[in-house]
Amino acid sequence: MSMSNLSRRSVIAGGLAAAAAGAAASSARAAGNPVNPPAAENGWVTSTMARMTLEEKVGQLFIQNVYGSDATTPDARNLPLYGVASPAEVVQKYHLGGIIYFAWTDSVQNPDQIVGLSNGLQKAALTQASKVRIPLQIATDQEQGVVTRIGPPATQFPGSMALGAGRSAPDARTAAAITGMELLAMGVNTNFAPDCDVNVNPLNPVIGTRSFSSRPELAAQLAAAQVAGYQRDGGVASSAKHFPGHGDTATDSHVAFPIITHTREQWEAIDAPPFKAAINEQIDMIMTAHLSFPALDDSGNPATLSKPIMTDLLRGQLGYKGVIVTDSLAMQGVRDLYGDAEVAVRALLAGVDQLLMTPAMDDAFAAVLDAVRSGRITEDELDAKVRRVLGLKYRRGIVARPYADPAAMSSVVGTPAHLAAANSITDRTTTLVKNDAKALPLAPKGKKVLVTGYGVGTTATLAAALTGKGATVQTLQTGTSPTDAQVASAVAAAADKDVVVVTTMKAWDTSVTDKRGGQQKLVKQLLATGRTVVVVAVRDPYDIAYFTDAPTYVATYSYSPVAIEAAARVIVGDVAPTASLPVDIPVAGDPDTVLYPFGHGLTY
C-alpha–C-alpha distance, residues 544 and 587, integer Å: 9
Residue 277's contacts (CB-CB under 8 Å, 6 or more residues apart) are 22, 26, 220, 221, 223, 224, 227
- Give CA torsion, residues 233, 234, 235, 239, to 10 deg: -110
Helix (H, G, I), strand (E, B) or coil at 364: helix
- Euclidean distance between CA atoms 283 and 278, whole angstroms: 6
> How far lies 279's CA from each of 246, 293, 326, 352, in Å?
17, 21, 17, 16
- Residue 324 burial (CB count, 10 A): 25
**C-alpha–C-alpha distance, residues 57 and 51, integer Å:** 10
Helix (H) or strand (E) holding 118: helix 111-126
Residue 88 DSSP SS3: helix
Which residues, other chains included, contact 156 with Cβ-Cβ below 8 Å and sequence gap of 6+? 144, 148, 422, 560, 561, 562
Phi-psi region of 414 (alpha: psi -120 to 50; beta: other; left: phi over 0): left
CB 35 within 8 A of CB 387: no
The torsion defined by the Cα of 109, 113, 117 and 118, in degrees rounded to 10, comes to 90
What torsion do the CA atoms of 212, 215, 218, 223 make, to the nearest 10 degrees?
50
Peptide bond connecting 242 to the previous residue in cis, omega within 30 degrees of 0: yes
Query: Would you tell me how many other CB atoms lie within 10 Å of the CB of residue 434?
Result: 20
Question: Strand 137-140 relative to strand 431-435: parallel, antiparallel, unpaired?
Answer: unpaired
585 in Cβ contact with 482 (< 8 Å): no
**Separation of alpha carbons 450 and 435, rounded Å:** 19
**Residues facing 586 on adjacent strands:** 594
Helix (H) or strand (E) holding 574, with range, is none
Sequence-ordered alpha helix ranges (H) in 495-544: 518-527
Q: Coil, strand, or helix at residue 260?
A: coil
Q: Kind of pairing, strands 237-243 and 532-537? A: unpaired
330 within 8 A of 311, measured Cβ to Cβ = no
Sheet containing strand 323-325, edge to edge, reads: 323-325, 285-288, 237-243, 190-191, 137-140, 98-100, 62-65, 355-356
> What residues are annotated to the active site?
254, 327
